[in-house]
Amino acid sequence: MKKYSFPDDLIPSNDGARLSKLKQYDVVDTLSEPEFDTISSIAAEIFQAPGAFVNFVDAEKVFFKSNLSTFPTNQVHRNDSLCSLTILEDDITVFYDTHEFNELSQNPYVHTEGGIRFYAGAPIKTPEGHNIGTVCVIDDQPRNAITETQASLLKKLASLALEKLESRRMKRQMSQIVDDHLHQVTHDLLNPLTSIMISAQLIQKKAGDNEIIQKVGNSILERADFMQKSISNLLSDASLNKGEEQLSKESVKIRDLINHLYRDFKMIMEHKQQVLKIQGVTDTILHIDRKRIHNVLANLLSNASKYSPLGSVINLHYSESEKTVLFQISDKGAGIAQEEFDKLFRKFSRLSSKPTGNERSHGFGLYTVKVLTEMHGGKVWAESPGIGQGTTFFVELPRH
């Protein structure tokens, strides 16, 4: 590997096409993911380096998709990043001692206490030949050399990073196909449900004083109404996934919200011989999107029922402080393993716990809960002693 020669311009001639390709992967400004952290940790181990990254070079910044270092940020300006130099080459870029290069004398991440003295980076190259990012390692001590094996493995890790990107892209495409199909199916279901509800109302009207038929008609109405709401929630989830969801806020009494939830879940929990216990005395009025917060709490109640055994008790507690209202939904069901908390609210994540009544899970509900709660300026979290020991979910919303 020859001594590095600095280019006249940090911006490659194909930067427009390169940025367009980077955008297709939808990776910039996203949360960390275990797969990319694994790549960084392997790179750090190969080089015995204190810092390793998977980076992507955007128009004006370099974003750290994985940051295994003491760096306090997940992005730097493109002009200040050594990765901006790495994407200009097809081979790996190595600085054995950055202090030997006058061109780096003003770099804020080089000439500072504990700054970068050693750097090695391999470009992440797309099938079209665009270098969109790097897998790189750093050290605050200079080095004399790296081995051919280290260089080769760093390139392979960069190829692995691209495979992960392609896998993410394919999953999103498949998700879009499923989403489009979901819209079609749900719309096809709504029309007959409306007919069922009208027929049930006619049955009740014709039944007169016949108590049994009235009960049957009412049961049909309740189930059809619940199915209609469930279908609407699925459509809302799909809109949320596309970033299309908007809040429609109004003043809502907490007690009205809770009573509505109780009516919705009474029959569902009775089917599993479960009991829903509600505790709370506040009459606080929240300025919220009633439908969305109902969906948030309903999703958590549905999960509590889904992952709890027959005959169990599920608790819904609500309370207020000076600035917030806190909802707690607790169960004594499947629980959550400690190592799974980091993926709890991620899109499409699946936990090891299984529903107790063979119910289905699409892996999108808790992600929706998190997004809708944060859209209201609130926060959501969970606590569990472990597998088989139950779970408590907390939703905190601002009062004003």
Q: Which residue has the higher pLDDT, 86 or 212?
A: 86
Is residue 149 pLDDT above 50, yes or no? Answer: yes
User: Confidence band (pLDDT; 50, 70, 90) for 201?
Assistant: confident
Q: Which residue has the higher pLDDT, 126 or 356?
A: 126
Measuring CA to CA, which residue among 288, 304, 300, 285 is closest to residue 374? 288
Is-contact 345 365, C-beta < 8 A?
no
Q: Which residue has the higher pLDDT, 234 or 97?
A: 97
pLDDT on residue 164:
92
pLDDT on residue 1:
45
- Please write the tens of the pLDDT for every residue from 292-307: 899 899 889 988 988 8
Three-state DSSP class for 296?
helix
Classify strands 118-125 and 131-139 as parallel, antiparallel or unpaired: antiparallel
- Please write the tens of the pLDDT for every residue from 26-60: 999 988 888 999 999 999 999 999 999 999 999 99
* Cα-Cα-Cα-Cα dihedral sign, residues 386, 389, 392, 393: positive
Measuring CA to CA, which residue among 258, 255, 239, 240 is closest to residue 315? 258
Q: Give domain 250-398's CATH number out of 3.90.1150.110, 3.60.90.10, 3.30.1360.10, 3.30.565.10.
A: 3.30.565.10
What is the rounded average pLDDT for all residues in the chain?
85
Q: Quick one: average pLDDT of 230-240? A: 62
Instruction: Give residue limits of the domains in the chain.
Output: 15-167, 172-241, 250-398
Does the pTM surpass 0.85? The reply is: no
Identify any residues that bridge with 367 across adjacent strands, giving them in sequence order: none
Q: Which residue has the higher pLDDT, 192 or 370?
A: 370
The HSE-up count of residue 398 (CA atoms within 13 Å, CB side) is 7
pLDDT on residue 175:
63
Give percent of the chain above pLDDT 70. Answer: 86
pLDDT on residue 176:
62
Is residue 5 pLDDT above 80, yes or no? Answer: no
pLDDT on residue 185:
67
List the CATH code of the domain at 15-167: 3.30.450.40
Task: Tell me the Cα Rg of the chain.
Answer: 27
Length of the chain: 400
pLDDT on residue 181:
61
Contacts 24+ apart (CB under 8 A), 285-288: 285/251, 285/252, 285/253, 285/254, 286/251, 286/252, 286/254, 286/257, 286/325, 286/397, 286/399, 287/249, 287/250, 287/251, 287/252, 287/400, 288/249, 288/250, 288/252, 288/376, 288/397
Is residue 281 pLDDT above 90, yes or no? Answer: no
Q: How far apart are CA 350 and CA 371, in angstroms?
A: 18
- Please write the tens of the pLDDT for every residue from 318-377: 998 888 999 999 999 888 888 888 778 876 555 666 666 555 554 457 888 888 898 889
pLDDT on residue 87:
96
